[in-house]
A and B are shown apart, each in its own frame.
Chain A
């Protein structure tokens, strides 16, 4: 009977094209508006490293002021001092550990006509690439020996490799930045984690850095922080060395711990480290160390803007209004078809058979509304991109993946079925005798 009901549904839609088109449009507009925001929120709240969520941990230690917490109620700082990042990294107590920070360099492309340009870079330790499953097109990252020897090497993103070397395998090529020469050891495949989970303190939706170089090299080269830096007391005189020795936080620290035992050991190690530092006069606050999974960390940092949640609420309300209109249109359609309904009852259709017929028809309308809604969602995303064209990062929020397409269609069908419940119930409640008598 399912195929029969499908056919009846298609015939009914064809027999009432205007009414059906209005219903499809009402659902599509509601779905389009709703899914545009849902899609943005989906991308914002995504966890691009979810497959390693159980083993990756963002590390926090509370070196903040004794007088007030970093954030209420008692949040430790979101970043780390150089002192702590260096010490924790060099201790090597985790299976993998990464200390990194955002900085900037002036790239000097080869060729007489090429102009230098400012570029953000990430100074990081060797485990960064393996820990975060960063994909390589050519070559690889550097090893820990390069970290120790402050080797002048870089890894390029695919986009800057395209700009500087035409997209070829540039491993072994030389790159000049700030009048210093670096050797390319690896080129990444396209990689745009959104949000940029490994550093959500500096706009989590901007593009990842396009150049990666060893942490130790950046420190010896006195690279400044290109991201947020917070201090609870002055760093004092003494230039870069004093800044490194200060309580200013500007680095991100991540570790990979493969099981509960490793996690427990590392937590104890952190406690011991902070206790030891307390003896040296640092860490005036109580022990307040944190190990957060990527999901916990993204949640903790409120990566999804409150305005997006408010917009989502409005979009859902708009969808509900569209569905109320659909209910009205479906009711009108049912009222126009009382003769058909009564006749089918007289010919042996039970209420449940009629219910199935009308629900399947509503599902077809929902499917059409969902497909059209996907198109409107795409238009909505394009509209947002055009409105905020001056923000480079915005395009990273406007992707539509298969899961969202599936959600759009499923939501449209479920919405249409929900909207159809009352009109269908009314259809099934029509007294065939009353209607057929009138004919």
Chain B
């Protein structure tokens, strides 16, 4: 379970103080598929970064599986991130000089698995995303949709409890976006909790729960409501 309570995140420079999240409270239960929508600059990505422990919160509490992660040091945070969280990015973020196999291998290396175990997991995940035959291809030799599938395989290889997706279909055409969303839904059906940031209503509707972020604060409800409110604002 992911639980944030009164989380605030403030970015400070010499001149300006920006409140990206204010008193942000949210609980995501195991197995949920949550879409996070909101206007540009509302704090969606900041929320996702804090959820993924890529950024530290300014105040409030954040528990992941009952553990207060704000007290962890860098090594412990990295370990939790590696074991419990998978990331999917809009721009795939594959490492160009590594082939598909080695890209999926990256989080497993930090996990310390032996070669056999890593190979088993990589092959299983690539099979799941339908790219077993492209194992020795380099990212530059794949289409956008295939690259995102590799990224999903990489995110799944460590069998994380949470999958955090930031605009996972933002760089894909409609057909490819649909197939990626189908894949995410399938993964969610397998029990993995998914939190997906998107600004597209159709994609948000594929999630089982929708939350809307505005001015760094969160509200639940059907996305249409929020989109309409945002449009009228």
Contacts and interface: CB of A to CB of B under 8 A. Distances in A.
Given A353-B110, A437-B49, A345 B89 contact: no
A183 B83 CA distance: 87
Residue picked from A4, A347, A432, A436, most chain B C-beta under 10 Å? A347
A300 interface: no
Looking at chain B, what size class is its interface with the partner chain?
Answer: 20 to 34
A152 interface: no
A350 B93 contact: no
A433 B55 contact: yes
Nearest to B76: A350
Interface string B141-167: 000000000000010001000000010
A347 B79 contact: no
A348 B158 contact: yes
A127 B201 CA distance: 101
B81 interface: yes
Contact of B87 (A4, A346, A353): A346
Contact of A350 (B52, B74, B83, B95): B74
Contacts of B131: none
Contacts of A349: 78, 82, 110
B168 interface: no
A439 B87 CA distance: 14
A348 B78 contact: yes
B25 interface: no
A261 interface: no
B106 interface: yes
Interface in B111-162: 111, 154, 158
A18 interface: no
A431 B74 CA distance: 12
B59 interface: no
Contacts of A437: 45, 49
Contact of B54 (A4, A350, A352, A432): A432
B188 interface: no
Interface centre among A11, A15, A437, by most B CB within 10 Å?
A437
A176 interface: no
B109 interface: yes
A433 B54 contact: yes
Given A4-B109, A353-B110, A436-B166, 10 more contacts: A11-B97, A15-B97, A344-B106, A344-B110, A346-B52, A349-B82, A350-B74, A352-B75, A353-B78, A436-B89
B109 A1 contact: yes
Contacts of A347: 81-82, 87, 106-107, 110, 154
28 contacts: A4-B109, A14-B97, A15-B97, A340-B95, A343-B106, A346-B54, A347-B81, A347-B87, A347-B106, A347-B107, A348-B78, A348-B81, A348-B107, A348-B110, A348-B111, A349-B82, A350-B74, A350-B78, A350-B79, A351-B74, A351-B75, A351-B78, A352-B75, A353-B78, A432-B54, A437-B49, A439-B91, A439-B93
Output the residue of A346, A350, A352 with the most chain B CB within 10 A. A346
B61 interface: no
Contacts of A343: 93, 95, 106
A340 B73 CA distance: 22
Interface string B189-207: 0000000000000000000
B91 A433 contact: no
Nearest to A350: B78
A396 interface: no
A344 B105 CA distance: 11
Contacts of A4: 109
Interface in A1-53: 1, 4, 11-12, 14-15
Nearest to A16: B97
A120 interface: no
Nearest to A348: B82
A12 B107 CA distance: 18
Interface string B51-95: 010110000000000000000001100110111000101110101
Interface string A102-135: 0000000000000000000000000000000000
Which one of B79, B95, B158 has the greatest number of beta carbons of chain A within 10 Å?
B95
Given A345-B54, A345-B78, A352-B75, A436 B93 contact: yes
B181 interface: no
Nearest to A439: B91
The 4 closest A-B pairs by CB, nearest first: A348-B82, A350-B78, A433-B54, A433-B49
A243 B78 CA distance: 86
Contacts of B158: 348
A339 interface: yes
Contacts of B97: 11-12, 14-15
Contacts of A436: 54, 89, 93, 166
A185 B166 CA distance: 91
A256 B52 CA distance: 76
Interface string B163-197: 00010000000000000000000000000000000
